[in-house]
Structure 1
């Protein structure tokens, strides 16, 4: 089942005896689990009919004994097993899940990986009327669309540059992104509900002019003046702009530029799919491919690996990260 399908059922007071929520992306697991906790029982019913267990501190026997209890002055009891990935012998729950008590709702939160669908627990949950939900981690190129959808539901919007800036600094952790978006929404005036790079700079502290995203653009254009302004800012603010993050960002960018050199079908749809890049930003990769041929791009990727090692102390006696950054960018541009 999808997260939305489960939420719709809960909203309609249709409950499953067992929910197994698993996957690499914790956001949807928390979203569904929290929604069940908030909406299945009333405040008064929770006192006697809600139990929270943690996988590391729980054995199957204790969990099953609780699940076999009948609710007190309520139609259901709710049991939530958090951190199920840390529980020993989790698959032994299959004996209970095969014939679950209909008045018990058991929610299993299995994060940071998918529970093996070949195991007995997965199979019996499905066959006995329970729900299996998979929460895969989003690829980076899919996150901006997720941000747009998340904001649209709240009658807000975001500019493409602002969306990419968030992804660059927060990665693909949807929970972290949602938390920052919540903070940004509060700051928006009623007359303009759109998040811009300026909104992010004022409220999160990420510079809209001096960041890895802007450095990529400067290098794609071979704009030495802009690139040097950015790296000088980075050198003076190393804590907010770690060298390893810049290396990772540029390595990802130039790896895609290198791939672009060998793609025959240059239609935006195909390029976006192969490179896993939002079509809005394809022009930057195409510009970089014109400025740097395949041979030069391969050398840049090699330099990025070299400077990553040097930043970790290999073949580097005294150069600071700021010095390494300036030296590396000079090589890329010349």
Structure 2
């Protein structure tokens, strides 16, 4: 986040670099930096002759260099953006000669998504000297909640831990999808609002009562009635609640319970740190650990592995998802 802010600040202050090589597994920041450059370096009048978007599948390195070496027309700079630049991965090192002597009036931007260039090779070292190499790393599951909180805080919003968890459960770790949904919420909610599960349900369509987070809590607290209600809802709405996601989240939950049983220090702070969870959820894990001793947790993990296979259609093609989920939860809670 700090590196992104610095890049944007420098561009805003018109401290441009001749090459911006944006790479990595997480496309969100790559897209945002690239879009900012496209929107803010040139005026609208200048863009017609001096801003060009190329696609890696349609060009080669020589084509890109040819465009980059041109002079701007009636402007101080020209901007050349290469999208889907990862399609040039086999020949990308051929850019070295240009990177050694880049055109000072050209701002050349590479969107090199889902891959990185070899940091041991000459291209990486050369661009680092004259330009910007930014690696956008994929966030781990336990980091996404903090990312949501930081993004909203910078825009004068906040979010409850449960609401944040609902977003992550429903959208996964795709920052672009999460950002899009947050933008929708900001349209209808005034600044200063704390986003709640009710807001998520009303505006995004994720049920605050029937979701995997609530199922996890019901199973962990051995609330049989609530667990069955949620499973029934999942069975009636299988497209919105795929079994493979439910099994994966429960597997993650019980794996953390197994780790919790092995801790010597079970203070809330220690548990939150060791399990990499929000302190808000520590009591849920402590409660579940009392309901599921270590031996039982090991058995539950074996059950989840079995139903992971069944949920993918192995040996259970004729069985409905709702029936599989019901059998799985009954076996876990018995």
Task: Output the TM-score relative to the length of structure 2.
Answer: 0.96
| Distance in 2 separating the partners of 1:267 and 1:108 | 47
Question: What is the correspondence of 1:170-185 to structure 2 with a 5 Å cutoff?
Answer: 170-185=171-186
Contiguous gaps of at least 5 residues in structure 1: none
* Match of residue 205 from structure 1: 205
* Displacement of 1:272: 2.7
Specify the SS of the correspondent of 1:56: coil
Structure 1 position 116 matched with structure 2 position 118 = yes
Q: Which moved more, 1:118-127 or 1:268-277?
A: 268-277
- 1:45 and 1:73 in contact (8 A); partners too: yes
| Distance in 2 separating the partners of 1:73 and 1:30 | 28
Question: What is the correspondence of 1:188-203 to structure 2 with a 5 Å cutoff?
Answer: 188-189=189-190, 193-203=193-203
Q: Which moved more, 1:60-69 or 1:275-284?
A: 275-284
- 1:23 and 1:136 in contact (8 A); partners too: yes
* Match of residue 109 from structure 2: 107
Specify the SS of the correspondent of 2:285: helix
Specify the SS of the correspondent of 1:22: strand
Question: What is the correspondence of 1:1-334 to structure 2 with a 5 Å cutoff?
Answer: 2-87=3-88, 88-127=90-129, 129-189=130-190, 193-316=193-316, 318-334=318-334
* Displacement of 1:269: 4.0
**Structure 2 vs 1, CA of residues 52 and 302 (structure 1 numbering), >3 Å: closer, same or farther?**
same
User: Cα deviations across residues 58-88 of structure 1 (Å, max 9, x unaligned)?
Assistant: 1011100111111111111111111111114
| Distance in 2 separating the partners of 1:265 and 1:54 | 54
Specify the SS of the correspondent of 1:327: helix
Specify the SS of the correspondent of 2:23: strand
* Displacement of 1:318: 3.1
* Displacement of 1:296: 0.8
Specify the SS of the correspondent of 2:82: strand
- 2:244 and 2:312 in contact (8 A); partners too: no
- 2:256 and 2:275 in contact (8 A); partners too: yes
- 1:2 and 1:134 in contact (8 A); partners too: no
Contiguous gaps of at least 5 residues in structure 2: none
- 1:94 and 1:124 in contact (8 A); partners too: yes
- 1:97 and 1:125 in contact (8 A); partners too: yes
| Distance in 1 separating the partners of 2:318 and 2:34 | 51
| Distance in 2 separating the partners of 1:121 and 1:332 | 54
* Displacement of 1:113: 2.6
User: Cα deviations across residues 26-55 of structure 1 (Å, max 9, x unaligned)?
Assistant: 111111111111111111111111111111
Q: Which moved more, 1:262-271 or 1:90-99?
A: 262-271
| Distance in 2 separating the partners of 1:93 and 1:294 | 56
* Displacement of 1:9: 0.4
| Distance in 2 separating the partners of 1:99 and 1:287 | 63
